[in-house]
């Protein structure tokens, strides 16, 4: 194999998403079946041993594409030469914790990681933030990396996108492969807005096919937006394999391009499109090509959608104000 390996850094590597993610990266599903990878696992010191255990298992898979695994608790080492950064490790909300406390605790993680990316990552680095609150954590990391083009910092809403695909397929008796052009707008939170007005099912408009605004407002949107909580309730732990799958999908689409006539949802820095204030990391419909993405232009936003997009964007603005007040951006 002559191709230079791609350096993929995964933070929170010993966590549950990490365990579902690393094997798929090493098997070629993140970047492509012909792309060799080197893994860098970043963990906090007490979790290094667990990360070593995962690395032993990765060795035991004898993946032909896996050309090395480094494990460290130092972000400067973890991001040295990183081409792809998957920022999974985050501080979860614990009992009695206010939102401000959560943002501050995550600032302590994402600010130094952003700085390490700024100082050490490869020029072509692409960053996906998975750790919650993902959009605002991405903003914190981005602000600490002024030398990296801002658009390289993205947040994950692909899990929401995939959840919405399946709910819509079930409702309409179609398959997810029949559905195109679905969009998640806004924040990866309960305010997110899954939009089917531009989506098609086997070429026909999805909203017209469904023709049931009550289902849309009272079932579809809340089911998608609260799916994370429903999984926690059912499983006693948050989504892990589906979150890892969405991270794979996000990066694969970003690197390898979207199919003609389709788009995906990514949390990306707004350029002011669709009334989303510039700089907010908000979910948009995007097409990708040659490792870059573009917001789908010119979609007509009806009143139903406008109110919901605005509500989610308002929440993102409040989160931005909160981290600004904490001096994190
Ligand atoms: N954007 C999305 O759609 C989704 C986001 N998530 C979020 O992903 C995050 C990770 O989830 P899980 O893997 O289930 O959590 P987990 O608690 O199983 O694992 C997190 C890991 O991160 C590590 N960690 C903490 N601070 C770190 C630091 N400074 N540097 C490196 N590693 C650090 C921990 O030691 C732990 O091993 C959570 O914030 C969760 O809310 C989960 C599902 C979907
Ligand atoms: O709430 C969580 O930690 C998990 C999450 O983001 C999701 O499943 O969408």
* DSSP H or E run through 214: helix 213-215
144 in ligand 1 pocket by Cβ < 6 Å? no
Mutate to test the pocket of ligand 2, among 239, 241, 265 (most ligand atoms within 8 A of CB): 239
What is the rounded distance in angstroms from the CA atom of residue 164 to the CA atom of residue 160? 6
DSSP state of 282: E
Q: How far is CA 117 from CA 14, 26, 74, 247, 269, in A?
A: 20, 22, 12, 19, 17
Report CA torsion sign: 32, 33, 35, 36. positive
Q: Are the C-beta atoms of residues 186 and 282 closer than 8 Å to each other?
A: yes
The token pair that represents 207 in the structure block: 């909203």
Q: How many angstroms from the chain centroid is the CA of residue 137?
A: 11
pLDDT value at position 208?
A: 98
Mean pLDDT by 10 residues, the chain (329 residues): 88 98 98 97 98 98 98 98 98 80 93 98 98 97 98 98 98 98 97 98 98 98 96 94 98 97 98 98 98 98 98 97 95
What DSSP string runs through 86-104?
Answer: EE-------TT--HHHHHH
What is the rounded distance in angstroms from the CA atom of residue 221 to the CA atom of residue 199? 14
* Dihedral pair phi/psi, residue 189, rounded to 5°: -160, -175
* Dihedral pair phi/psi, residue 255, rounded to 5°: -80, -40
Mutate to test the pocket of ligand 1, among 9, 10, 12 (most ligand atoms within 8 A of CB): 12
pLDDT value at position 93?
A: 78
240 in ligand 1 pocket by Cβ < 6 Å? yes
Mutate to test the pocket of ligand 1, among 15, 108, 155, 230 (most ligand atoms within 8 A of CB): 15
55 in ligand 1 pocket by Cβ < 6 Å? no
Q: Are the C-beta atoms of residues 323 and 280 closer than 8 Å to each other?
A: no
DSSP state of 62: T
pLDDT value at position 98?
A: 79
Q: Could you tell me the distance, in angstroms and rounded to a whole number, from the CA of residue 128 to the centre of ligand 1?
A: 13
pLDDT value at position 132?
A: 95
Q: Are the C-beta atoms of residues 203 and 181 closer than 8 Å to each other?
A: no
DSSP-assigned beta bridge partners for residue 84: 8, 126
Q: How many other β-carbons are positioned within 10 Å of the β-carbon of residue 138?
A: 27
Which residue's C-alpha comes closest to atom 36 of ligand 1?
A: 15
Report CA torsion sign: 130, 134, 138, 141. negative
Q: Could you tell me the distance, in angstroms and rounded to a whole number, from the CA of residue 175 to the centre of ligand 1?
A: 31
* Residue 188 annotated among the catalytic residues of the structure: yes
Q: Return binding residues for substrate.
A: 93, 99, 132, 163
The token pair that represents 158 in the structure block: 């692909």
Three-state DSSP class for 204?
A: strand
* Helices 48-61 and 16-26, axial angle in degrees (round to 10): 30
The number of the ligand nearest the C-alpha atom of 17 reads: 1
Q: Could you tell me the distance, in angstroms and rounded to a whole number, from the CA of residue 256 to the centre of ligand 1?
A: 26
Residues near 24 by Cβ (< 8 Å), separated by ≥ 6? 30, 244, 245, 248
Which residue's C-alpha comes closest to atom 9 of ligand 1?
A: 131
What is the rounded distance in angstroms from the CA atom of residue 79 to the CA atom of residue 309? 34
Q: Are the C-beta atoms of residues 117 and 152 closer than 8 Å to each other?
A: no
Residue from 162, 127, 133 nearest 245 by CA? 162
Q: How many other β-carbons are positioned within 10 Å of the β-carbon of residue 71?
A: 20
109 in ligand 1 pocket by Cβ < 6 Å? yes
CA angle 303, 306, 310 (to 5 degrees): 145
CA-atom Rg of the chain in angstroms: 19
């Amino acid at each position: 194999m002559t191709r230079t390996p791609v350096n993929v850094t995964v933070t929170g590597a010993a966590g549950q998403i990490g365990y579902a993610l690393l094997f798929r990266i090493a098997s070629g599903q993140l970047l492509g079946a012909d792309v060799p990878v080197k893994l860098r696992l970043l963990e906090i010191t007490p979790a290094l041993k667990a990360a070593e255990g995962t690395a032993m298992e990765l060795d035991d898979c004898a993946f032909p594409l896996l050309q090395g695994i480094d494990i460290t608790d130092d972000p400067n080492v973890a991001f040295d030469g990183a081409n792809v950064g998957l920022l999974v490790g985050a501080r979860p909300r614990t009992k009695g914790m206010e939102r401000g406390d959560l943002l501050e605790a995550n600032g302590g993680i994402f600010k130094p990681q952003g700085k390490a990316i700024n100082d050490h990552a490869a020029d072509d680095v692409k960053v996906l933030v998975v750790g919650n609150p993902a959009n605002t954590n991405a903003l914190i990391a981005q602000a600490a990396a002024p030398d990296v083009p801002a658009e390289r910092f993205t947040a994950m809403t692909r899990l929401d996108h995939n959840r919405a695909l399946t709910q819509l397929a079930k409702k309409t008796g179609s398959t997810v492969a029949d559905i195109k052009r679905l969009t998640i707008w806004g924040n990866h939170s309960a305010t997110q807005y899954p939009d089917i007005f531009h989506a098609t099912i086997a070429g026909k408009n999805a909203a017209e096919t469904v023709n049931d605004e009550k289902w849309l407002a009272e079932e579809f949107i809340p089911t998608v937006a609260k799916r994370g909580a429903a999984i926690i309730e059912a499983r006693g732990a948050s989504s892990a394999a589906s979150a890892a799958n969405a991270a794979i999908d996000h990066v694969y689409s970003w690197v390898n391009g979207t199919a003609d006539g389709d788009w995906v949802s990514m949390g990306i820095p707004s350029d002011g499109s669709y009334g989303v204030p510039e700089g907010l990391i908000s979910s948009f419909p995007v097409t990708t090509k040659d490792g870059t993405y573009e917001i789908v232009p010119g979609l007509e936003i009806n009143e139903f959608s406008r109110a919901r997009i605005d509500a989610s964007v308002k929440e993102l603005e409040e989160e931005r104000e909160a981290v600004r007040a904490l001096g994190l951006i």
